Structure 1
């Protein structure tokens, strides 16, 4: 019997290779479209993929994994998606709501008041939905928040405890909602939302995203933190300016990503193909398996809750548009209707995702460097792909 199984292995391997080749052949190769843009904007690598009706219909990779190294960018290479992780945290919140563990109007005080006592009264009344829609009055990253993120306690505590300690350190601050718009892009708000999920669901956020999103969707390349295996250049490595302003690859270690305490706000990575699979599931409006949440719950998550008006926004954040729960809702001048979108960057990478639910279409673009040039290049590719694969 053992010899019979061994005899089947070469045939099975050949069948698998043939299937993978046919799968790749069925997709449009975008490399020739990506390469000129990559060169024009001087990016290390540029990758993109398109999913339509749950199938990846186009994908491509160009450039190198890291400047100064010969390894070419590949479709299976992990890319860092930064704040595009926020949509996944919002989906986990939807699961908690469906299971009766939380409600959209659950407050920080109700869920975390026993763990973090003496909170500012206004902060304690902030609702989960406000945290996920950046409308809680919690500001964008302040110097005090940055000092909390980059603390020295990481070696002494688990991440769940560190997040509670972060709220403990900030608990006396009073959220203030601006007059012109309640929208303030708040990573700290997502850190708190992740802590509420951990308390309500009894597991670390890291375990929840693995077990409830990555595994059911079969995102086999998905993980958290820096993309490359320490000691190897086996993924798209982020780049950051050195002292002379030249892009330097951040290969491994703490310098290769934001602190893991910020996981709920943006530390996920995965291949561009898996990123497209995630987008394809969202574009399918939860009508296509796996059954992560009810379609009504996903529709609620995708419904804009606040209008954003941001003067002089950083790269990747629009000046105005709707914001749902982990998703922007923006009118582009090249599209007939507003589309769901989000941008993610840990300052060393940049990723964009675009969802057209009416056409069951998802477009993802990423590069392994941050900044305005990266944003412009990824935006140009996103527009081109939408005009090519959108059928309206």
Structure 2
């Protein structure tokens, strides 16, 4: 899913964002605001993180699924959707620092064993092109696009390779076109460079960071984790773990990680402190390039500048959960809002909640 476009009012509000947020007020406000928006907009479950360099303020409200009054908990996982792309980019930059690959590495320098006649338009594409949606790869942002694929067989890595062979024989699209397929090709590059499957790469780096995660919708790991919701016949319903809808296993890099708010906030905190000048799992320079290396969309993150701040942001949704993340390092803060529904009305509520958090933080300066 694209980084959010409804940013005009938001970026004006960011001018009010304080450098220091008051812990007690933030905690109380998060609790009250999450409860208010969850009830007012009838979102099944809503969770929020306000992240600072040394603290994460968290809140959660709602139910696991709309048909049952089972309360959600802070350790319950939500689906990140396309915010998984930032994890893919994070792994890529760690590998760049260890000289396993570079942003300028050409796809076919690593994946030279692909079969079929590859379109000449793709012969020079690089890792950086794929991470920044500059490779001209078809989007594959709709389930209908996957229906034209031939049967993909073998291991997940085999399917990734077969998918790449098919996509690279398709007609190119304009550079800058948001592409899930481009991130699937990225994962093929990374696993070839690392000599590990992309699934093992994700596990290696998440374990190194001591972060808990799951591949797939969270209720497939635990029935007590939030179920995703969508509308049928103008009514919101939950999707069981056995529901036919799922993401293809080879699409992990584009958008299929689930995390709870505690662990996801810690991951975002690595990015925040890195953008504030701290070297941690990767260097501050790498974070700067990842978030701001190109205008509008760099490597896994959208970005924008105001008169006083650089902002990076991203949305993620596979249609049944929604995750919105924004970082403002000049103010020392980031905001995360996640829900287990992604209807248009619920997405609007997420943005309104984000804006209220910013308004409140501005009042602390008065």
TM-score range, shorter chain: 0.7 to 0.9
Per-residue displacement from partner, 1:322-378 (whole Å, max 9, x unpaired)?
A: 11100011358xx95341110000100000111111233121100001131121111
SS of 1:157 mapped into structure 2: coil
1:313 aligns with none
Match of 1:199 among 176, 184, 192: 192
| Contact 2:231–2:343 (CA under 8 A) maintained in structure 1 | no
- TM-score after normalising by structure 2: 0.85
Look up the match of 2:215.
224
Alpha-carbon distance change, 362 to 257 in structure 1, aligned in 2, over 3 angstroms = farther
- Tell me, in whole angstroms, the C-alpha distance in 1 between the residues paired with 2:58 and 2:121: 47
Equivalent pair of 1:66/1:233 in contact (CA under 8 Å): no
Q: Measured at CA, do residues 165 and 336 of structure 1 come closer, stay the same or move farther in structure 2, by a change above 3 Å? A: same
* 8 Å CA contact retained: 1:135, 1:184: yes
Looking at structure 1, the residues matched to 242 and 58 of structure 2 have their Cα atoms a distance apart, in angstroms, of 30
**1:216 to partner: Cα distance:** 2.4
Q: What corresponds to 1:134 in structure 2? A: 133
The 8 Å contact of residues 309 and 330 in structure 2, kept in 1 or not, is answered as no
Quickly say closer, same or farther: Cα 1:144–1:45, change in 2 above 3 A.
closer
Shift of 1:277: 0.8
Q: Which residue of 2 aligns with 1:6?
A: none
Aligned 1:89-100 pairs, distance under 5 A: 89-100=88-99
Contact 2:81 2:255 in 1 (8 A): yes
Residue 266 of structure 1 aligns with which residue? 255
Which residue number in structure 1 is paired with residue 171 of structure 2?
Answer: 174
Higher relative contact order structure (alpha carbons within 8 Å, sequence separation ≥ 6): 2
- Mapped to 2, the partners of 1:53 and 1:199 lie a distance apart of 35
Matched, 1:342 2:335: no
Structure 2 residue matching 1:351: 3-state secondary structure: strand
Secondary structure at the residue paired with 1:385? Answer: helix
Q: 1:25 to 1:100 in 2, by over 3 A?
A: same
- Paired residues, number: 339
What are the Cα deviations for residues 116-155 of structure 1, in whole angstroms up to 9, with x where unaligned?
Answer: 4531121121111111111211232267742267x754xx
Contact 1:279 1:363 in 2 (8 A): no
Separation in structure 1 between the aligned mates of residue 267 and residue 94 of structure 2, nearest angstrom? 16
Runs of 4+ that moved beyond 6 A: 24-27
Partner Cα separation in structure 2 for residue 389 and residue 88 of structure 1: 28
**Partner-residue secondary structure (3-state), 1:47:** strand
Relative to structure 1, the CA distance from residue 148 to residue 236 in structure 2 (aligned partners, 3 Å threshold; closer, same or farther) is farther
1:389 deviation in Å?
4.2
| Alignment partner, residue 257 of structure 1 | 246
Q: 1:105 to 1:219 in 2, by over 3 A?
A: same
Match of 2:202 in 1: 209
What's the C-alpha RMSD, in Å, of the aligned pairs?
2.5
Name the CA distance, whole Å, in 2 between partners of 1:256 and 1:133: 28
Q: Distance in 1 between matches of 2:144 and 2:245?
A: 22
Distance 1:249 1:233 in 2: 12
Q: How many Å apart are 1:229 and its aligned residue?
A: 4.3
Q: Does 1:283 align with 2:261?
A: no
Structure 1 match to 2:87: 88
Structure 1 residue 276, shift from structure 2 partner: 1.0
Alignment match, 1:235:
225
Q: Distance in 1 between matches of 2:320 and 2:79?
A: 9
Cα displacement (A) at 1:176: 3.4
Q: State the 1:239 CA deviation.
A: 0.7
Pair member with larger Rg: 1
Tell me the secondary structure at the aligned position of residue 69 of structure 2: coil
1:324 equivalent in alignment to 2:313: no
Whole-angstrom CA distance in 1 between matches of 2:157 and 2:286: 26
In structure 2, how many angstroms separate the alpha carbons of the residues matched to 1:26 and 1:36?
16
Taking a change above 3 Å as real, the CA distance of residues 202 and 379 of structure 1, as seen in their structure-2 partners, is: same
- TM-score, with length taken from structure 1: 0.80
* C-alpha contact 2:216 2:256 (8 A) present in aligned 1: yes
